[in-house]
Amino acid sequence: MPVANRAHIFSVSLALIAMALCPLAMAADALPALSPEHLAFFESKIRPVLAEHCYGCHSAQAQEKGKLKAGLFVDSQQGLMSGGETGHALLPGKPLESLLIKVIRHEIKDAEMPPKGKLPESVIADLTKWIEMGAPDPRLAAAPVAKAKRTIDVASGKDWWAFKSLTQPNLPAVKNAAWVHTPVDAFILAKQEAVGLTANNVTSKEKLLRRVTFDLTGLAPTPDERAAFLNDTSAEAYSRLIDRLLDSPKYGERWGRHWLDVVRFAESGGYEFDGFRPGAYHYRDWVIKAMNNDMPYDEFVRMQLAGDQIKPGEYEGASAAGFLVAGPYPGQITAKTVEKIRYDQLDDMVSTIGSGLLGLTMACVRCHDHKFDPLPQRDYYGIAAALATTVHSPSQIDLSYVETQKKLAVHNQIGAPLQAALKKFETEELPKRFDDWKRDQLPKLQSTAPWQVFDIQKATAQSARLITDRDGHVIYTGNKAKDDTYTIKVVTHQKGVRAFRLDALSDPTLPSKGPGLSDNGNFVLGDVKIIAKPLDAKNKTKPVTLKLKAAQVSFEQKNFEFAKTVDNNPNTGWGVAPQMGKDHAAVFAIDGETAGFDGGTEFEIQLRFSNFFGLGRIRLAFNNGSALAQIADTEDMQNLRELRALTDTKTVSSSMTRWFSRFDERAQELTAAVTEHERKRPQPVLTEVYTTKNGGEDVFFLRRGEVDRKEGKASPNFIQVLMRSSDAEKKWVPTPEAKQPAVHPRLSLANWMTDAQAGGGPLLARVIVNRLWRQHFGRGLVPTSNDFGTQGEKPTHPELLDWLASELIKNGWRLKPIHRLILLSSVYTQSGDVNPTTVQRDPENHLWAQRPARRLEAEAIRDTLLQLGGKLDVKMYGPSETNNESGRRSVYLRVKRSELVPFMTMFDAPEPNQSIGDRGNTTVPTQALAVMNSPFVHDLAAQLLNRIMATKPSGTEEIVSRAYEYALGRLPEAQETQRMKAFIEQQTQLHGNKPDSPTLAMREFCHALLCLNEFIYVD
């Protein structure tokens, strides 16, 4: 029963809810009357066993002790009949189908009962017999009716505040209307007035500048910016400041980093080898750009969920979809682990979508319906199914895809007449010219070399750009990669092919003259595969993969022997170090029958280069003589002998043009025009992006989340409690009957998610405006940023949250207007001055009647230290930086899951394995050690002093002033100046009053400023 058809159960869950209300009646109906024999059997054989082995975990008493397991009670007939979390415990009359019997017979993995060891066979036989009898049980009224199983009621789940439609609250009336600068203030003030709190007044301009500059850019205001703001006495000064900061590209770097916490962004796979993902940074860059461009948040979400579908082939779409694949994923997978890993990967995506976008805890729903929120497993597996065909992939993406497509269209337009001319020639002139040539020239021509060089039909590669020439060369022209496969197609009309020859040619244009593409000219050819197919469509013989032997080779490197090209292990292969800069050749002999079909043969030759670079210049040849040709034997183009083979056929075919063109000027000219044009084919500008790829397979419901316990197949669905209409997801997921064009299920998910009327939009908007509030104030209106469910904290100001969410949607989902509403408000600009009444009445500052100082995050601390030392490198974007002491902003430091940057994690940068909405804010002595002792901070303090000295200050007092201005954004008070002068004096003496002692002392003064709370706690 429990294993039966979970999918079906879900589809009729409402019916089940109704049924669940009357299990007792149903069970009682099904039971036979209790005879004295039955009673005796139960009392002697059954009750003692249940009491001894089962009641410990499955009884009312166990429940009282908190030891109840699986929600199952076996101390009452009702409990047994209604079952636990995993379904009915027994089916009267059907022992073999009863869960009770299955678990005691240890038929269900990890549910072997009792846990302490198997019951004796005789006891199992008794229990089996008892169920066969119909499970007569006298304990009808003996135990309290236990609610063993929780059934999710989605309809009543909608009553939870976060799942309701957005309200459109009116602005509350307030007494102190002067305090209200933006509507935000009205909501805040109304609550304060209700309890008699008075908010603080606006803080000083200096503090405001520092606050908002850090808040929006993560860097300190410069002395120039300070002067400009203080000198601007107009009423719009602050508003203009906000505009400037929101327009600064540093805004995206700061706020993009906040988003990267939410999406567990890292550039490596974690797990076993934590493989680096060179193309992962594009997602980070996309986030920063999107923030700076104020991309509407609904589009921002849609692109992350389905960018690859919205803008297929495009760099932007591929980069944005990096969201889905930013999570951990093992690098070492065997057949034995692949399935678990697949479901873990889906779990990573579903959980991040849940917590990050909707503030819902989805992770636990993998194994069971949510214990607290109205999230049945159907919702989890529905989203998982929408992601079913989404797999991780480092893909080669065209940076200018749209351009390339346009150029291709033009290219094809120009090429069309050339092809038409060739075609015309082939039909109208060729036959006659060929007959003449055959009669006059052919008998005089000779071609007898043992190796015939293939005239290449087509050469492509996964990454490298390859062209061919008329002398049988395949030539690399760009975009090399360490993992690549070259696929080369050649044909012959001859038969009896016994061997292939690969010439790896050196060339002055190649690195170290080649023949390989690595810097030293080497290559590693991992595996070679040759597939033979009949050329003639009438020949129905199936393609064959030829069995190859590594026959001869010019040279082989130690441990990179030629034979490793045919060992079916692409990770081992043939190399030629140290013999680079020379031509090399290798002969693959066919092991077995010679190859060649009637009517001609196409050979597809695959050269796989793995973990190393490939070849720069190649020629391929074959041998069909009576004996195997030797590596030293001569080579000649195949054309003449192809023509001889073809003249045996009655008609002249167009395929002859190709061969014949070598001998006919006109044919050569027309073919060359086509080939020449082909060579100009616009090439994509490829770059590796870590993104999604189509793959994967169906998703099944998993019992307890375990892959070896599959139940029904899941189909794409969304979260029911957030649906506004009765026909649920039909609006977004077209059914086959509806005859609508198929929509990629991830695109449906994205459309549902951002649907502000009927889908996930209202919650999506609430969650993001709350994140903005959280970053501006240090705590969200909902303090649990990632949990809007019943286990999260409720909003302190629900009306304000809904008002902001509505404003967001009204303003086309743009975030910058929301920032502005918040930043211009009195609640944001107020001071942190002590007001004893506020502290006493609202110690946790729920009502925002004061503004506490907040510590900077790890990135802001590091970036500001660099900024003060004049070492900040403002270059944006690009591959991540591996030198932790580089001047790049911290958002560009490499994020490798197994080797996080110590300075960052020390100051609470999160571990990028799960979505994080609220970073910790800890204080530990290792932080103090880092600022006290690290050469990094000391050096930057010394650099700060150098910058001050470069302005030729008049004396110690001015040095102290400047340092305060840089580090703390204000000038020192007279008393502070005196104290600092005394300190410098004292340190100078401790240094022994040597010539450099004053400089060392002033460095220590600068260093001390960087250690102050005032430096890293912003008012």
Question: Minimum CB separation from another protein for residue 576, in Å?
Answer: 27
Question: Minimum CB separation from another protein for residue 893, in Å?
Answer: 15
Q: Whose Cβ is closer to another protein: residue 305's or residue 1008's?
A: 1008
Q: Whose Cβ is closer to another protein: residue 51's or residue 839's?
A: 839
Burial of 630 (C-beta count, 10 Å sphere; 0-12/13-18/19+): middle
Distance from C-alpha of 364 to C-alpha of 368, rounded to nearest angstrom: 7
Question: Minimum CB separation from another protein for residue 473, in Å?
Answer: 42
Q: Whose Cβ is closer to another protein: residue 186's or residue 1002's?
A: 1002
Q: Whose Cβ is closer to another protein: residue 269's or residue 515's?
A: 269
Tokens of 540: 């129905």
Q: Whose Cβ is closer to another protein: residue 811's or residue 946's?
A: 946
Distances in Å between the Cα of 550 and the Cα atoms of 29, 506, 562, 565, 591 are: 77, 21, 7, 8, 10
Q: Whose Cβ is closer to another protein: residue 480's or residue 897's?
A: 897
Question: Minimum CB separation from another protein for residue 230, in Å?
Answer: 21
Question: Minimum CB separation from another protein for residue 530, in Å?
Answer: 28
Q: Whose Cβ is closer to another protein: residue 694's or residue 926's?
A: 926
Burial of 743 (C-beta count, 10 Å sphere; 0-12/13-18/19+): middle
Q: Whose Cβ is closer to another protein: residue 337's or residue 649's?
A: 337
Question: Minimum CB separation from another protein for residue 359, in Å?
Answer: 8
The C-alpha angle with vertex 257 and arms to 252 and 263, in degrees rounded to 5, equals 120
8 Å CB contact between 967 and 870: no
Element (H, E) at 963: helix 956-968
8 Å CB contact between 50 and 75: yes
In this structure, the number of other CB atoms found within 10 A of the CB of residue 141 comes to: 10
Q: Whose Cβ is closer to another protein: residue 48's or residue 117's?
A: 117
The C-alpha angle with vertex 965 and arms to 870 and 232, in degrees rounded to 5, equals 110
Tokens of 519: 């810097």
HSE of 812 in the Cβ direction (CA atoms, 13 Å)?
Answer: 4
8 Å CB contact between 694 and 728: no
Question: Minimum CB separation from another protein for residue 1014, in Å?
Answer: 5
Tokens of 759: 């889908």
Q: Whose Cβ is closer to another protein: residue 924's or residue 949's?
A: 924
Question: Minimum CB separation from another protein for residue 142, in Å?
Answer: 28
User: What counts of helices (H) and strands (E) characterise the chain?
Assistant: 39, 19
Distance from C-alpha of 614 to C-alpha of 690, rounded to nearest angstrom: 22
Element (H, E) at 211: helix 205-217
Helix (H, G, I), strand (E, B) or coil at 9: helix
In this structure, the number of other CB atoms found within 10 A of the CB of residue 308 comes to: 29
Question: Minimum CB separation from another protein for residue 878, in Å?
Answer: 25
- Give the relative orientation of helices 815-823 and 205-217 as an angle to the nearest 10 degrees: 160
Tokens of 390: 């989404």
Alpha helix stretches (DSSP H) within 248-337:
249-262, 281-292, 297-310, 315-320
Q: Whose Cβ is closer to another protein: residue 347's or residue 664's?
A: 347
Strands 710-713 and 700-702: antiparallel
Q: Which of 261, 218, 269, 406 is nearest to 874 (CA)?
A: 218
The region, left, alpha or beta by phi > 0 then psi within -120 to 50, assigned to residue 358 is alpha
Question: Minimum CB separation from another protein for residue 274, in Å?
Answer: 8
Question: Minimum CB separation from another protein for residue 900, in Å?
Answer: 6
Distance from C-alpha of 496 to C-alpha of 499, rounded to nearest angstrom: 9
Distance from C-alpha of 888 to C-alpha of 881, rounded to nearest angstrom: 7
Q: Whose Cβ is closer to another protein: residue 77's or residue 355's?
A: 355
Q: Whose Cβ is closer to another protein: residue 207's or residue 608's?
A: 207
DSSP state of 609: E
Question: Minimum CB separation from another protein for residue 961, in Å?
Answer: 16
Q: Whose Cβ is closer to another protein: residue 645's or residue 906's?
A: 906
Question: Minimum CB separation from another protein for residue 801, in Å?
Answer: 17
Element (H, E) at 401: helix 401-428
* DSSP β-bridge partners for residue 689: 395
The one-letter amino acid at 867? Q
Q: Whose Cβ is closer to another protein: residue 200's or residue 292's?
A: 200
8 Å CB contact between 674 and 411: no
Distance from C-alpha of 572 to C-alpha of 561, rounded to nearest angstrom: 9
From first CA to last CA, the distance across the chain in angstroms is: 62
Question: Minimum CB separation from another protein for residue 1012, in Å?
Answer: 5
Question: Minimum CB separation from another protein for residue 150, in Å?
Answer: 15
The residue behind tokens 């930043």 is 823
The dihedral over CA atoms of 609, 611, 615, 619, expressed in degrees to the nearest 10, equals -20
Question: Minimum CB separation from another protein for residue 883, in Å?
Answer: 16
* DSSP β-bridge partners for residue 691: 393
The overall longest dimension of the chain from CA atoms, in Å, is: 114
Q: Whose Cβ is closer to another protein: residue 95's or residue 328's?
A: 328
Q: Whose Cβ is closer to another protein: residue 480's or residue 1003's?
A: 1003
Question: Minimum CB separation from another protein for residue 1010, in Å?
Answer: 10
